[in-house]
A and B are shown apart, each in its own frame.
Chain A
Amino acid sequence: MAAAAVYGAGGAMKGGKLGMEGAVDMQLNRIRITLSSKNVKNLEKVCADLVKGAKAKELRVKGPVRIPTKVLHITTRKSPCGEGTNTWDRFEFRIHKRVIDLISSPEVVKQITSITIEPGVEVEVTIADV
């Protein structure tokens, strides 16, 4: 799977570094945090907070990757009946998605994510082996 491949590649790359940072004893995982929201402002704020928090804990952070926004279009007739000029409403629903990669232990991530959350932002955390 693509995700597994990414993990694998990342793991191979970071193995050496981990050896150097041997002082840190707890097991580290690759953690991917996916943030999605309808509201860009809140989303960006949460992203920035997360990255800042991670950097403060001196974790390796891959900065917020912006996945292309998905736009859901809904085009409906304005009229409740069929009469009249055929005017249409065009509604759209935008979903923004950001991905942040970290390498850390799960507890630390829990701490970070518990602090920063704004309403309306959905957080998904995927934890995999290093």
Chain B
Amino acid sequence: MAGRGAGGGGRKTRNFATFRLFPRAGAADPNDRVFVRVDNNDYNVPGFADEDPFDSNFTADAADLHSFASGPLPEHVRREILELGLPDDGYNYLSHLRELRPAASAASSFVPNSTARPEPLPLDVKAYDASRVRVAPSADDLDEGKTMCKVAAKTAPLRRVQRALDPDVARLLDESDFSHGGSEDEGLEEDFVIMANQAEGDDEVEEEEEELGNGIFSDVEEEKEEEEFEDEPKPRVRRLLDEQFDLLALEEYGDSDDDDDDRGGRDGDYELPSEAIEELKLFCDQNGCVDEDYRTPADFVRGRLESTTADEVDESANVIQKCAEYAERYLNEPAEEKETVLVSESSDESEVWDCETIVSTYSNLDNHPGKIETPGNRRKRLPRVFPGETATTNDLIKLHGKEKLPVDYLPQRKRNGEKEKKVKPAEAFNAEKVKKEVHKETKEEKKARKAAVKEEKREARKAKKELKGLYKSETQKAQKVAAVTGPSSIRLM
């Protein structure tokens, strides 16, 4: 009525505008929506959806851009693009920028990792924690060796190092994290959990140090024990037993850790124990040994070569003698030490069967013992004898051919025999005919002969085909059986 203005032919005037809510392009908040017009009517709604979707893109930059459609981007735009690290190739990447989510959720998305261990060292760097080294207050007895040892004892290698931070800076950083927003952590005034976690990390470092310290340098031990009480509390006081255990553990299960320690210690003036050095010297003196003839201890005794290890040589020369002595002793001993061993025999009264004997521990569930039979040969099962067979006198079944068929027992052989018999008299008959009328019937004779030959051949072919078919079927059956029972390598067909 009021709305229908147009006539019958045209469309009725459409006095309405349709808008849809779409999320704004490039907006961080999914709830940030604008109304977008979705129809093409002429109707104008002045108060609604004044912001076209394209308005939001018509920022100052974009306005400039459209005036510089083909030319280069304005300077400030280019600077901004470069600042962002995007390439300066004439395209305005700023149109693809997206707002970040509001800061209210930023605090929750950047949570400092409280369980992170300090960074592992790069491979070409070695770090040592020398915070426990005590510089001797008096400079009197500065025995280099001893000092070095003490230092080595207290120094422990580190695998991870925290970045060097000023404690003030670190404090500030921590504070700034917590000041943002109302995170739940703010309620926790005490950070005992964090402290506990850190304490664990320190303990690991401590243990490494102690293992090393208890190795060789006993003069340091006392100091060590003193220190322990000062440091973070251990579960209990270390006893001598603990140290011994550590020593043992070191010896048996020496880590690479300890090797590193040792090497680190030796980098200074650390010397091998004196015995080792002497041995090495001896070895150097005896260097000639390896090059020339092989020598036995007996050679030494007989004085063929000089040697400084006289003691050893003597001992080794006496080995044979010693062996002989031992042997004699061993022989003599049992003769001297014969003891009478009394063995009590069991009386008859106690010999009562108090339990049943077990024949087998296998249960009948799994084990099915067979019945013991008289050893008659029930296994010999000969195949049934086919009528008309001649080869049954042997007890052996012969298999012939590729298919390994028991040829004598196949059913078809009979027929061939009959056919042969049929053919033969026919042939004979023909032959007779031929002989009587040799002159006249050469053509006919020839024909007849040829016909006979043809017949024979035909019959032969037929027979062959039949036999072949028979063979094939038998082979198939045999293959089936072999497939189930025999090894898979048997191929009969």
Residues of A within 8 A of B (CB): 1, 3-5, 7-9, 11-12, 26, 29, 105-107, 109-110, 113-114, 117, 119, 122-129
Contacts and interface: CB of A to CB of B under 8 A. Distances in A.
A124 B38 contact: yes
Given A107-B48, A124-B19, 18 more contacts: A4-B4, A4-B12, A4-B14, A4-B15, A4-B16, A7-B15, A7-B16, A8-B4, A12-B1, A106-B48, A110-B49, A113-B35, A122-B20, A124-B18, A124-B21, A125-B19, A128-B3, A128-B15
Specify the main secondary structure of chain B where it touches its partner: loop
A117 B4 CA distance: 34
A1 B14 contact: yes
Contacts of B43: 127-129
B30 A119 contact: yes
Contacts of A9: 1
B3 A11 contact: yes
Contact of B47 (A12, A106, A126): A106
Interface in B88-132: none
Contacts of B49: 110
B45 A127 contact: yes
Contacts of A5: 1, 3-4
Interface string B30-54: 1101010010000101011100000
Interface residues on B, range: 20 to 34
A117 B33 contact: yes
A113 B13 CA distance: 28
Nearest to B45: A127
B17 interface: yes
B21 A1 contact: no
9 contacts: A3-B16, A4-B12, A8-B4, A12-B2, A106-B48, A107-B47, A124-B21, A128-B16, A128-B17
Contacts of A113: 21, 35
Q: Ordered nearest first, which 7 A-B pairs have the shortest CB separation?
A: A106-B48, A128-B16, A8-B3, A4-B3, A123-B21, A8-B1, A106-B47
A127 B19 contact: yes
Contacts of A125: 18-21, 35, 48
Interface of B: 1-4, 12-21, 30-31, 33, 35, 38, 43, 45, 47-49
A27 to B, nearest CB: 8
B224 to A, nearest CB: 65
A117 B20 CA distance: 13
A125 B49 CA distance: 11
A127 B16 contact: yes
Contacts of A106: 45, 47-48
Contact of B15 (A26, A110, A129): A129
A5 B49 CA distance: 25
B268 to A, nearest CB: 70
A24 B17 CA distance: 23
A11 B2 contact: yes
Nearest to B15: A129
Nearest to A107: B47
A53 to B, nearest CB: 15
A124 B17 CA distance: 10
B254 to A, nearest CB: 59
Contacts of A107: 47-48
Contact of A7 (B3, B17, B20, B35): B3
B291 to A, nearest CB: 78
A75 to B, nearest CB: 31
A90 to B, nearest CB: 32
